[in-house]
Amino acid sequence: MDRVKGISFYLETGECLLFDSPGIVFIVGARMRFFLSLCCSAAVSGLFAPQAGVAQQLPPIFGFANKDRIPEVNKSGSPVFDKLRNEAMKKKLPLVIYLTGSSWCSQCNIFTREYIKKTNFKNAAGKKFIFWLVDTKQVPGNSPGTFQFKMVPEEAAKIVGCVDSPRAPYVVLGPPAVFIIDPVSGKLIKSLFPKSEVDKYGKPLAGIIEETWAEFSRKPK
């Protein structure tokens, strides 16, 4: 990992490139590599300061759904997802997926500590929403000095991914990220990313999820 004026560039990871800046962690796809090379050049030449807010420079692809890839019920290829989706439908609750990187992502661990491990979140999980934590880990890449990322459990790669992951129905730039999903339609109601955006709500994550679901439920289907 090379640090340039406070910006850390991790190596190419198969389909994705991991980009870590102070307070922000992104995983971006091949379409963004040229942009990141420009950012790197700008940082080296001093065209913008490290605290300039890299997130403001990135396109607004913080989280979205590949609508044509949203799986039918019980046909996702992920037994865990199908089980949790059915439970959410039975209880008429949203399905919440938390994408993290506990072994390599410092911002993920901060997010987990400040939101996921809170008592109010633990108490709400299973009662206000159905929760699935998807971790990621680094493994050696196909060429020296590179890394690839694998989902934990691996079957989660059929459900969530980063930009340019063509097989994933739910996509985000990178962890930490939260997906709030309608289990019936599979629609992505809201994605929460990065942590600084979640912080702006000024309330527990469980409360954000509950309000989001209540608002969605009131809308005519």
Answer yes or no: are the C-beta atoms of 101 and 109 closer than 8 Å. Answer: no
Query: How much of the chain, in percent, has pLDDT values that exceed 90?
Result: 52
H-state helical runs in 9-163: 33-45, 54-57, 79-91, 106-111, 119-124
The answer to whether residues 52 and 84 belong to one domain is: no
Q: In the listed set 18, 34, 57, which residue is the last one of a domain according to the structure?
A: 57
Residue 51: give the domain boundaries: 2-57
Amino acid at 48: F
Which residues sit opposite 2 in a β-bridge?
9
The answer to whether residues 136 and 173 belong to one domain is: yes
Q: How far apart are CA 188 and CA 192, in angstroms?
A: 11
Model pTM score: 0.73
Residue 52 has pLDDT above 60, yes or no: no
CA angle 114, 120, 121 (to 5 degrees): 65
Domain harbouring 117, CATH code: 3.40.30.10
Q: Which residues contact 99 (CB under 8 A, 6 or more apart)?
A: 134, 136, 160, 172, 175, 176, 177, 178, 179
Q: How far apart are CA 181 and CA 123, in angstroms?
A: 19
Q: Give the closest residue to 203 by CA, choosing from 192, 188, 187.
A: 192
Could you give the 3-state DSSP secondary structure of residue 46?
A: coil
**Which of residues 28 and 48 earns the better pLDDT score?**
28
Residue 45 has pLDDT above 90, yes or no: no
- To the nearest whole number, what is the mean pLDDT of the chain? 75
Q: Give residue-wise pLDDT tens across range 54-66.
A: 333 334 446 788 8
Answer yes or no: are the C-beta atoms of 160 and 97 closer than 8 Å. Answer: yes
Tell me the mean pLDDT in the region 184-213.
94
The answer to whether residues 36 and 113 belong to one domain is: no
Q: How far apart are CA 23 and CA 56, in angstroms?
A: 13
Domain count along the chain: 2
Strands 170-172 and 160-162: parallel
Tell me the mean pLDDT in the region 47-52.
32
Q: Which pLDDT value is given to residue 165?
A: 63
Query: How much of the chain, in percent, has pLDDT values that exceed 70?
Result: 69
The answer to whether residues 42 and 85 belong to one domain is: no
**Which of residues 164 and 98 earns the better pLDDT score?**
98
The answer to whether residues 133 and 183 belong to one domain is: yes
Q: Give residue-wise pLDDT tens across range 100-136.
A: 999 999 999 999 999 999 999 999 999 999 999 999 9
Sign of torsion over alpha carbons 179, 115, 18, 146: negative
The answer to whether residues 115 and 194 belong to one domain is: yes
Q: Which pLDDT value is given to residue 66?
A: 84
Answer yes or no: are the C-beta atoms of 39 and 57 closer than 8 Å. Answer: yes
Q: Give residue-wise pLDDT tens across range 154-163.
A: 999 999 987 6
